[in-house]
Structure 1
Amino acid sequence: MIRLCIVENEALVREGLRRVLELDPELEVTGEACDAEQALAVLRAAPPDVVLLDMRMPRGGGLRVLEELERDRSAPPCLVLTTFDDADVLLAAARAGAKGYLLKDVTAEELGQAVRCLAGGGTWFKPSLTEGVLRGLGSLRDGPAPREHPDEPLTQREREVVRMMAGGYSNREIGSALGVVERTVKNHVSSILAKLGVRDRTRAVLKALEKRLF
């Protein structure tokens, strides 16, 4: 059973999420909160396996929750739920420690997949959802930012791997899709982390988004 906490300031949205999630016999909503302060109190009292987190809330918002949880290495992973593909929101959330990002119009099936992925230690930054964010990143920079750079350190295969990492795939699933053994994928992941100068998969995905590698 995967225990969930829903952090959302709109009561109707919380109720809808609870009903959808609890249709799945493997998911259980064990906590709810309507703002950042209440969320932190609930999460400390009864830590869930995954947090579903709205970013725009009273009394600190989702960013405050992420920053507080990031200080605790045993804190549960957070899946950000938002209404719009917003570059500022996604990048701020990922930098603060979010492990996934979904729009609120997501299907019940994909929401369940994302929850399971995070509960298993993965990330869920689907490339199809980040296309708008990548366009937004261009407007945040001084001038256009091309996808390809002459000094780009990642190989084509490494870019394929990091794209699948963003989609929440495990090393075994990536290996199966690419036709290589899991050990080879692990080597690619280690190389990606080293080349991007990051220490984990989530930060690798964030850096790949910033550098527009997929």
Structure 2
Amino acid sequence: MICKLLLVDDHSLIRAGVRALVSDIPGYAVVGEASDGNQLLEMVRCLDPDIVLLDLSMRDTGGLEALGRLQAARMRSKVLILSMHTDPDMIMQALEMGAHGYLLKDTTAVELEQALDALRGNERYLSPAIAHTVINQALIRVQGNKPAADDNHKLTARQLEILRLIVRGKSTREIANGLGLSVKTVETHRSQIMKRLQIFDVAGLVLFAVRERIISLDD
């Protein structure tokens, strides 16, 4: 089954470039384009895309405002931010507002495919290029908080290991290959981690991992 994509960016050349990259990725198709956040909700309702590739800096209605409208409308489409911005506050805000992934515009075709595959598989994706930025921002937010005891993690040693890799932006397949596990086993661990912690987004997992001293910038 083809995964339907909607491109939202006010630069036609960027949209053309992303469309060209997508055309070389099996199983995906761009079904629509929008040049402004104001068009987003209407096009999502009409086209019912599986994934929205959303820029943050646009004329009139910006990406964050458009993301807020999309989440308020409880649309089923997942949102992959595709932006040039590496500002930690903006990244964290986008993730906390419901974005399922964050990818930089200078990404490669390979990473774009990895991100799309992750969202299609009901996973989150955080570009490794900004993982440290997100972790650093999380450190700032929890600075001065007393570290929690290890037994508050409620996670096994293997789950803690996988959590560290998730927070660093590794995909399920990368984690499986690195640890010598099957993809299915890693997916099971990921699901158990989220259920035990009751955290279901990347930003929340990063904040938890930093607060509990599971990961640091030097880790």
User: TM-score with structure 1 length normalisation?
Assistant: 0.79
Contact 1:85-1:133 within 8 A present in 2 as well? no
* CA shift for structure 1 position 95: 1.1
Residue in structure 2 matching 1:168, options 168, 171, 184: 171
Question: Contact 2:95–2:203 (CA<8 Å) still a contact in 1?
Answer: yes
The change in CA–CA distance for 1:42 and 1:117 in structure 2 (over 3 A counts) is same
RMSD: 2.9
How far apart are the structure 1 equivalents of 2:5 and 2:87? 25
Q: Percent identity?
A: 33
| Aligned partner letter, 1:207 | G
Q: Are 2:71 and 2:98, in contact at CA under 8 Å, matched by a contact in 1?
A: yes
For residue 83 of structure 1, report the CA deviation from its aligned partner.
0.9
Q: Cα deviation per residue 1:61-95 (whole Å; 9 max; x = unaligned)?
A: 22222223324555211111111322112211111
CA change 1:126–1:160 in 2 (3 A) is farther
Q: 1:26 deviation in Å? A: 2.8
Query: Is the CA contact 1:138–1:145 (under 8 Å) kept in the aligned structure 2?
Result: no
The equivalent of 1:49 in structure 2 is: 50
Check 1:126–1:103 CA distance in 2 against 1; reply closer, same or farther (3 A cut): closer
**1:208 alignment counterpart:** 205
Residues 187 and 92 of structure 1, relative CA distance in 2, 3 Å threshold: same
Aligned residues: 205
Question: Deviation of residue 42 (structure 1)?
Answer: 1.1
CA displacement, residues 124-156 of structure 1 (integer Å, 9 cap, x when unaligned): 1144431123234445x485789xx35252554
The Cα of 1:123 is off from its aligned counterpart by 1.2
Distance 1:187 1:17 in 2: 32
Structure 2: give runs of 5+ residues left out of the alignment.
none
**1:151 maps to 2:146:** no
Residues 159 and 51 of structure 1: is their aligned pair in 2 closer, same or farther, counting only changes over 3 Å? same
Q: How does 1:71-90 map to 2 (within 5 A)?
A: 71-90=72-91
| 1:8-53 deviation per Cα after TM superposition (whole angstroms, max 9, x unaligned) | 1122211221122213343211111111111221111111121111
Would you identify which runs of 4 or more consecutive aligned residues in structure 1 move more than 3 Å? 71-74, 136-139, 141-146, 163-166, 173-191, 194-197
Note the residue ranges of structure 1 that are not aligned, 5 or more in a row.
Answer: none
Take 2:197 and 2:9, find their aligned partners in 1: how far apart are those partners? 34
Distance 1:3 1:94, change over 3 A: same
SS in 1 for 2:43: helix
Contact map agreement 2:104 2:127 (CA 8 A) in 1: no
Distance 1:126 1:162, change over 3 A: farther
Equivalent in the alignment of 1:114: 115
Instruction: Give the 3-state SS of the residue equivalent to 1:106 in structure 2.
Output: coil
